[in-house]
Copies of this chain bind each other. A is one copy, B any other.
Amino acid sequence: MATIKEVAEAAGVSIATVSRMINQNGYVSNEAEKRIAAAMEQLAYESPLARRLAGQNMPAIALMLPDITNPFFAELARAVEDTCQQQGCVVFFCNSDHQDFKEKSYLEVLRKRHIDGVIFASNYLPQEELNKLEQHRIPVVVLDRSSDTQKCSLIRSNNYEGAQMAVKHLMDTGCRKIAHIYGPQEIATAKERMNGYEDYVKSFPWYTPSLMAPGMFLMEGGIQAVDTLLHRHPDIDGIFAGNDLMAIGVLKALHRKGVRVPDDISVCGFDGIKLGEIIEPELTTIAQPIYEMGKCAANILIKQIKSKNDKALLEIIEMNVSLHIRDSTRKDSEEQ
């Protein structure tokens, strides 16, 4: 973070002149003002004035998403955008594609173009990058991901408990051999949902680790996982997919194989995206409060921007998920 002294040196003026300009108090020549403003912008000097020069009172934040084609993130984006618009702020969406080098490129470009804040709904956020953002006093909110650091606010939902709700619902409605399709294990949410499943089922005699298969959080991954799982265990009668996109792939794959849902196999997803109500059969799922999560993240970030990134405002919020019972799971308990 640049000091007033550095700005003064870069602009070739005295510290007192820079100070007069910052405070908008006392005479500063036009030429000096231009040079100081330019130096401030170049050095990423953060002051209300420099910010005004970059964005003229229209702050810009970035929302880093791992996959713009996943409706879960499109719905999150919708909420972040609505909230920002109400507060006179624009949002740029960045699609990291689960690739750390893309996140690094984005962050570098964003810093150089004076972004005012970043919401991270993506996988990586290495300490080094977080430090750079902090140096530039750019506040960060982490959304739907874990964070080991105390340096930024965090909004997430209780994935572990949600996964257990899913498995309990499948068992309550008569399933006796439940498989799990999990997302990329480097993503905290995927890991927590898998742990929730495993801890719930591991004491049952039917459980074996080969009831778990990867689906990459993608629709295609769900389709492929069904092949793997039914080949290993033709007697599966319930599938808990770690996100709705994979669950929709599961429904497609089962339909192609002539397997009836929920009569032969019940399916439960996780997320609560709108698409789950459009497909047939409509998808039972563990719904996150997607809109609320996005809104909350945007509000916290904007509050931090307005407070000049006051660390006292850091918050950690865990939201509750809820079971939405639709047509892809059975209605009545058969036994139990």
Chain A positions within 8 Å of B, measured between CB atoms, are 9-12, 31, 34-35, 37-39, 41-42, 53-56, 58, 60, 62, 68-69, 71, 74-75, 77-78, 81, 85, 90-95, 97, 102, 105-106, 108-109, 112-114, 219, 248-249, 252, 255, 275, 278-280
When A78-B69, A279-B279 are in contact, do A93 and B90 touch as well, CB less than 8 Å? no
Complex CA–CA separation, A68 to B106 (angstroms): 19
When A39-B34, A68-B74 are in contact, do A54 and B108 touch as well, CB less than 8 Å? no
Cβ–Cβ contact B278 & A219, under 8 A: yes
- Chain B residues with CB under 8 Å of A91's CB are 94-95
Complex CA–CA separation, A79 to B249 (angstroms): 22
> What copy number does this chain have within its complex?
2
Top 5 A-B pairs ranked by shortest CB distance? Answer: A38-B38, A93-B93, A92-B92, A113-B113, A38-B42
Known contacts A60-B113, A279-B279; 12 additional CB pairs below 8 A are A37-B42, A58-B109, A68-B74, A68-B81, A69-B74, A69-B77, A92-B92, A113-B113, A248-B278, A252-B280, A255-B280, A280-B280
Cβ–Cβ contact B34 & A112, under 8 A: no
Cβ–Cβ contact B10 & A12, under 8 A: no
Give A127 Cβ to nearest chain B Cβ, in Å. Answer: 22
Complex CA–CA separation, A75 to B255 (angstroms): 25
* Residue in B closest to A58 when the chains form the complex, CB atoms: B109
